[in-house]
Structure 1
């Protein structure tokens, strides 16, 4: 099936939703790899020369402003209550994105040791989520995990935002990062089994990849009592949908993992998950790229798009 047709199919699928009852509370959590959201200021700590006004990408105020407006258009259309971001260069870039949004968000940003200067951040609506604890967690790579514990409308939720090493890095680094991520989440669960865990990020691997299955032990309970996580986007991936295209294949690199506390009991419960996409986020394009996520640069040429990834989301109700 051609990529553009597949994209059109899950664009329609992404619009389908059940109507919530009047008495039901609903919150949405999202994750978005925004692809190289650099500011225009040269860094003294890493080489970002390409993304400066005099650099190879011609990254001046006009292109930077267009990137902010494009990302804001996506986030405003999605309207999540909480959203994790990957590939932001600096607090300045996060702050200026927040200022471009129509909705009022607070933000949390931490500088990581990534060699390209790529960080993760969290945006949240202050009337929905109240952070109580923030820390960075070593990841076996330069991209530390962002851990935020807080109250989601009065109920404790533990969020972990991550961006794992890419397919172009050493495979062992990604495996080590996955293992460390799982051990951290498992330690939180063992310290307080009542805590609700949400892990979101760009894992740079499909959920069916061996490293992902081994690290998260998804799809089965384990005898040692460690936390059981489920991937609510698995059904979409099995049907051929994804968040990122590589060599004409949709991959689900961007993902959510929730603990089984969201499947039963009182409080927040898992309702649905999806890949957020609108037709204007996709390339109308030529050269075989029609239906791909419309990115900012394609083969070195400026295309003025959004990101090479599509955002993913989950909705909870109670």
Structure 2
């Protein structure tokens, strides 16, 4: 724990966990596929294997223990409790905050943090109001806190609607999330703002460009793997592209030391159809890979 006091940097990791569900049914959610008798045959053994692999992935994302971790595709408080108290992360000292979203599958976003390095002062769930044709989606998690250096940070964790039904047809929903974010940051636009998560859009998509027009900078636009293998956080049909991003306010730009993708060898697998490598994911269709982590790679930001 001494390293927490010696480090002069603040390390922030973002990761889409790819379906980090427990194996119990929530009667209010459509999560039956992640039960032992469901389509994915999601047993306790598979669940605990997945938890420990996600813990390993987080721990390996920086030379020292990450100070803050934003997670997408986590189901509920039980999952977060098990991840922070009973998995490989159990001795890491993380506390957490998780949303309680109206998403029909029960997917939420969460934030892990080291209390000695980042202390939340308050937090809120920002509900994304529905527009025509839009299904209930994940709340945006907002946290205001102070770092060890007593800098105030405003953090937003987002998991925008997927491209289900086609990119063009679903584009207005992701733009609506971007507009909701823009409205939320307007009263604090002169503060230290970090927005991160899975936007389900690329850096040149309209939703990301809109946020940049609001005074934010996408500092992960050109992020690459620290080992030179990953060109982005996500690979689809042989093409690398990032759906995960960090956007910061102008006041934080001078404090950005580094940004990279964790592409350690064990997080990748050869892609036989298209050549090269892709993230070592948990599922191919409904087939579970015991040594799979996620279909996204961790994105890492280091601040001075």
The TM tier, using the shorter chain, reads 0.7 to 0.9
In the alignment, is residue 58 of structure 1 matched against residue 2 of structure 2?
Answer: no
The aligned counterpart of 1:263 is 253
- Higher mean C-alpha deviation, range 243-252 or range 288-297: 288-297
CA–CA separation in structure 2 for the residues paired with 1:216 and 1:228: 5
Q: Are 2:16 and 1:33 aligned?
A: yes
CA-to-aligned-CA distance 1:27-54 (integer Å, 9 cap, x gap): 1111110010000111111121110111
Corresponding residue number in structure 2 for 1:6: none
Aligned residue in 2 for 1:158 = 154
> TM-score scaled to structure 1, two decimals?
0.83
1:291 equivalent in alignment to 2:284:
no
Question: 1:134–1:277: structure 2 CA closer, same or farther, 3 Å change rule?
Answer: same
Partner of 1:233: 220
The reply on whether 1:249 has 2:244 as its aligned counterpart is no
The two structures have a TM-score, normalised by structure 2, of 0.86
1:255-293 CA distance string (max 9 Å, x none) = 0001110134xxxx1111111121101124545476111
1:207 is matched with which residue: 175, 196, 203? 203
Partner of 2:132 in structure 1? Answer: none
| Residues in 2 aligned to 1:252 and 1:182: alpha-carbon distance in whole angstroms | 21
The unaligned stretches of length 5 or more in structure 1 are 1-21, 218-226
Distance change >3 Å, CA 213–CA 42, structure 1 → 2: same
Deviation of residue 23 (structure 1)?
Answer: 8.7
Cα drift, residue 205 of structure 1:
0.5
Q: What is the alpha-carbon root mean square deviation over aligned residues? A: 2.0
1:110 aligns with 2:99: yes
1:245 CA drift (Å): 1.0
After superposition, what is the alpha-carbon deviation per residue over 1:235-261, rounded to whole angstroms, capped at 9, x for unaligned?
237x98211111211111100001110
Match of 1:148 among 143, 146, 154: 143
Map of 2:293 onto structure 1: 306
How far is the alpha carbon of 1:109 from its aligned partner? Answer: 1.2
| CA shift for structure 1 position 68 | 0.5
Q: Is the 8 A contact 1:163 1:201 kept in 2?
A: yes
Q: CA deviation at 1:71?
A: 0.4
Distance 1:214 1:180 in 2: 11
Give the distance between the partners of 1:53 and 1:207, measured in 2 at CA: 38
Structure 1 distance, partners of 2:27, 2:52, is: 27
Sort the Cα spacing of 1:62 and 1:136 in 2 relative to 1 into closer, same or farther, 3 A.
Answer: same
Distance in 2 separating the partners of 1:61 and 1:290 = 33
Quote the Cα distance in structure 1 between the aligned partners of 2:269 and 2:141: 32
Distance 1:69 1:233 in 2: 27
Q: Is the 8 A contact 1:133 1:150 kept in 2?
A: yes
Matched, 1:93 2:79: yes
Question: What is the aligned length?
Answer: 278
Task: Note if 1:182 corresponds to 2:182.
Answer: yes
Shift of 1:69: 0.9
